[in-house]
Amino acid sequence: MPLAGLLLLLTGPRAAAQVLLYPTLDAYRAQSGEAVGDYVGLTSARRDHILTVEKDGQRRDVPCSTLWGFRYGDVTYRINPGERHAPLRLWTHGGICYYENGYAHLRMQHERLEQVMFAEGQGHRSYVSKDLEGPVVPAVFREGDERSASGRFRKEHPQYAPLYSCIGGDDDLDRIRQCVVDFEVMLEGE
């Protein structure tokens, strides 16, 4: 899969654009985030990403390496230490956690765009993790691959086999999201 891709999403109005920081997973679970104002931007800096916010006319740079994640409006982003602390947009968490490229979603959300390109070097289109605590891996599942992080995840978690054929295979994000939802529903029925 090429690192450049197109994400499609219809975004809602920017009514609740406040950013809440979650330094830990426990803070996220308790919904006890620190309100830090409005989202301004995201930049990469060597081995980290910097989230810039503004409150009462004062800008603040927050290293993403100091966070488990953050909420921007009603959307949750988890920080991925495996990719220089880049934010990932959390879509589902339950039987499996499914994420999409944070750069693209932050830009769409902030600029109220329906689609946006993300450039090479800005991560993959989608990611998965076993839970909200475990490592996040790119959702690029190739038959026979046991060396990459995705390949090792696939080998260690055969229970997600129905997902491996529909996540990371093409650019149809609506189909991928539906596959994840269907998988979650299947798990609830067991």
- The tokens for 93 are 């968490």
For 13, other C-beta atoms within 10 Å of its C-beta total 8
Give pTM, 2 decimals. 0.82
Q: Torsion over CA of 66, 68, 71 and 72, rounded to 10 degrees? A: 50
Tell me the domain boundaries of the chain: 5-189
Closest CA relative to residue 133, chosen from 44, 51, 179, 69? 69
β-partners of residue 5 are: 118
Per residue in 135-173, pLDDT tens?
Answer: 999 888 887 888 888 889 989 998 888 888 787 665 677
Q: How large a percentage of the chain has pLDDT more than 90?
A: 38
Per residue in 101-115, pLDDT tens?
Answer: 887 788 777 777 666
